[in-house]
């Protein structure tokens, strides 16, 4: 399927969108409407002013070149480290400083309150730290014993 718009990257590294009617928008950003529940469905291309210009129902519908452009552009906006293990927590009361190993390397996060651990579904957990950064635990039942025991104190 060929979409009714085209997408290119300018020399300044910004995305340019050309709509069917010939209007050109520079500096568009792709935004996922459901980043957690359905990341590849409903991606919007949003203008610099924050208006939705194009809605893509499914990423797989796009030609691969455009898809790559969008994925490239999305990547830095979606920094969401996946926690592999919880190595140390400062205290079991909140706020608590956690030392965790993630797929992006070891780091430290501050858990402000227990509510910041959000259950996405039966196994996935989303943890927001004090700076609003999101950490994902893909399957908390698959964590090692120690991490699981620590986590259960907060759930």
Partner 1 sequence: MIDKLHAAPMNLLPPAWRPQVSALLRAGETLRACLETDLTADLRYARGVLLLTTDRILHLTAEAPVREWPLGPTLTLRQTDHAGVGLIELLHAETRKGLVRFTLAHALTATHWVAEFARLRADCDSVAETPETCPECHSPFDPTTGSCVACARDLASPPSTRTLFRLWRFARPYRLQLLLGFFLTLSATFATLIPPYLTMPLMDKVLIPFQNGTPIDRSAVILYLGGLFCAALVGWALGWGRTYVLALVSERIGADLRTTAFNHLLGLSLEYFGGKRTGDLVSRLGSESDRICVFLSLHALDFVTDVLVITMTAVILFTINPWLALATLLPLPFIGWMIHLVRDRLRTGFDRLMRVWSEITNVLADTIPGIRVVKAFAQEERESKRFLAANQYNLALNDRLNRLWGVFSPTVTLLTEVGLLVVWAFGIHLIAKREITVGVLTAFLAYIGRFYARLDTMSRIVAHTQKAAAATKRIFDVLDHVSSVPEPRHPVTLASVSGRIALREVGFRYGSRHVLRNINLDIAPGEMIGLVGQSGSGKSTLVNLLCRFYDVAEGEILLEGVDIRNLGLTAFRKHIGLVLQEPFLFFGTVADNIAYGKPGATRAEIIAAARAAHAHDFILRLPLGYDSLVGERGQGLSGGERQRISIARALLINPPILILDEATSSVDTETEKEIQRALENLVRGRTTIAVAHRLSTLRKADRLVVLDRGQIAEIGTHDSLLAANGLYARLYAAQTRQHAEDGSTGAEHA
Among 9, 88, 118, 149, binds partner 1 (CB under 8 A): 118
State in angstroms the smallest separation of the CB of 57 from partner 1.
7
Q: Under a CB-based contact definition with an 8 Å cutoff, are residues 90 and 97 in contact?
A: yes
Q: Under a CB-based contact definition with an 8 Å cutoff, are residues 50 and 93 in contact?
A: no
State in angstroms the smallest separation of the CB of 39 from partner 1.
9
Across the beta sheet with 52-58, the strand order is 29-32, 41-46, 52-58
- Residue 22 φ/ψ region, left for φ over 0, alpha for ψ in the -120 to 50 degree band, beta for the rest: left
Helix ranges (DSSP H) in the chain: 64-77, 145-152
State in angstroms the smallest separation of the CB of 120 from partner 1.
8
C-beta closer to partner 1: residue 46 or 109:
46
Q: Which among 11-19, 46-54, 92-100, 145-153 is the span making contact with partner 1, rule CB under 8 A?
A: 46-54
Q: Would you give the binding string for partner 1 spanning residues 6-45, x where CB under 8 A is met? A: -------------------------xxxxxxxx--xx-x-
| Omega cis (within 30) before 41 | no
State in angstroms the smallest separation of the CB of 124 from partner 1.
12
Which is nearest to 9 in space by CA: 74, 76, 73? 73
C-beta closer to partner 1: residue 45 or 150:
45
Residues at the contact surface with partner 1, assessed by CB under 8 A: 31-38, 41-42, 44, 46, 50-52, 55, 57, 118, 132, 134
């Amino acid at each position: 399927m060929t979409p009714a718009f085209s997408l290119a990257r300018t020399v300044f590294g910004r995305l340019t969108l050309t709509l069917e009617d010939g209007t050109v928008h520079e500096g568009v950003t792709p935004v996922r409407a459901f980043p957690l529940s359905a990341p590849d469905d409903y991606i919007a291309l949003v203008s610099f002013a924050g208006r939705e210009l194009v809605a893509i129902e499914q990423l797989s519908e796009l030609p691969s070149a455009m898809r790559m452009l969008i994925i490239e552009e999305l990547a830095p906006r979606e920094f969401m480290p996946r926690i592999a293990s919880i190595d140390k927590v400062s205290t079991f009361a909140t706020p608590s400083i956690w030392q965790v190993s993630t797929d992006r390397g070891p780091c430290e996060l501050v858990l402000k309150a227990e509510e910041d651990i959000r259950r996405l579904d039966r196994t996935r957990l989303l943890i927001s730290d004090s700076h609003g950064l999101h950490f994902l635990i893909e399957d908390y039942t698959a964590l090692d014993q120690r991490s699981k025991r620590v986590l259960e104190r907060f759930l």
